Structure 1
Amino acid sequence: MPLKIDLKPNERLIIGNAAIRNGDRRASFVLETNTKFLRESEIITESEADTPCKKLYVLLQVIYLVDETFEAENGFTALATQIMEAAPSMAPRIAAIHECMTSGEQYRALKLGRELIAYERELLARVAPAAEEALQA
């Protein structure tokens, strides 16, 4: 089934192994074959990965986009284990991501990865005021 993609001016897109940047006007095109792609809004670069869950998401991107995923999968497992030990409430979310990966639903795993980052942000927002109070006491 063809997929129509609309790009904003200067928006980036990864299709397979190619990184594409749109020009200075909106553009629209149709992907007529089944291929892996990520829009700029879905991409987190290694330099932007400043939290454990963002680093986990970078590994999910690699697993989704490349053919040889052995190293990325091992990295995912190691980091996921560390995250679950530090924050056990993340375990069900990480288990759901792993389930998607093992069933071949890597794009769905990415979506769940973005939800995990949002959950991490919520946890950090709850911890920050308590840490500030403790420092002032």
Structure 2
Amino acid sequence: MAALILELKQGESLLLRGAVIRFKTRTRMELSTQERFLFGKQVMAGAEAVSPVQKLYYALQQAYIGPDGASQHALAEARALIAGQIPSAPPAIREALAALLVSIEDGPGLEALKYARQIIRLEALPAESEIQPVQRGGVKNS
């Protein structure tokens, strides 16, 4: 496997196996083995997770990069959050949540985190906006 070079800015965090690594200076690092990690804007702190969809993203994040025991608990929490939001969500968000639920059937992955970030953006749109469901590769707005 070829090494992956990551460049992180001062103050950014890297989550690796449940450990939070915060960079005090701009850093280039090489990851030479395959491992699940998140960095930069992909990382959401627990205190930032205030809306239901943000809490969902945080649970998926913990399921993706957390230790094995905590990962299963976080994945169960994410499924419960999705199930609780689907009935009352607007149609476009409901469809996106259903797609997210399908994407985590085999466990959390980067695809699930991308869906969750897209749903966060949909949630932030004004209620009167005409929005279309989440598409692979991005959110479409009319």
Structure 2 counterpart SS, 1:30: strand
Letter in 2 for 1:60: L
Letter in 1 for 2:82: A
Deviation of 1:51 (Å): 0.7
1:1-137 matched pairs, under 5 angstroms: 1-24=2-25, 26-66=26-66, 67-68=68-69, 69-89=71-91, 90-104=93-107, 106-122=109-125, 125-126=126-127
Cα 1:53–1:36 change in 2 (3 A) is same
Cα 1:7–1:79 change in 2 (3 A) is same
Structure 1 counterpart SS, 2:14: strand
Deviation string for 1:71-127 (max 9, x for gaps)? 2222222211221111142222122222222234511111111001001111xx236
Cα 1:2–1:102 change in 2 (3 A) is farther
Which structure 1 residue ranges, 5 or more long, are not aligned?
Answer: 128-137
Percent identity, please: 30
Moved more, 54-63 or 94-103: 94-103
Partner Cα separation in structure 2 for residue 9 and residue 73 of structure 1: 31
Which structure 2 residue ranges, 5 or more long, are not aligned?
Answer: 129-142
Judge conservation of contact 2:7–2:29 (CA < 8 Å) in 1: yes
Aligned length in residues: 124
Structure 1 counterpart SS, 2:127: helix
RMSD: 1.8
Deviation of 1:57 (Å): 0.5
Partner Cα separation in structure 1 for residue 46 and residue 19 of structure 2: 18
TM-score normalised by structure 1 residue count? 0.80
Cα 1:75–1:17 change in 2 (3 A) is closer
Structure 1 consecutive aligned stretches of length 4 or more whose deviation exceeds 4 Å = none
TM-score normalised by structure 2 residue count? 0.77
Structure exhibiting the larger radius of gyration computed from Cα positions: 1
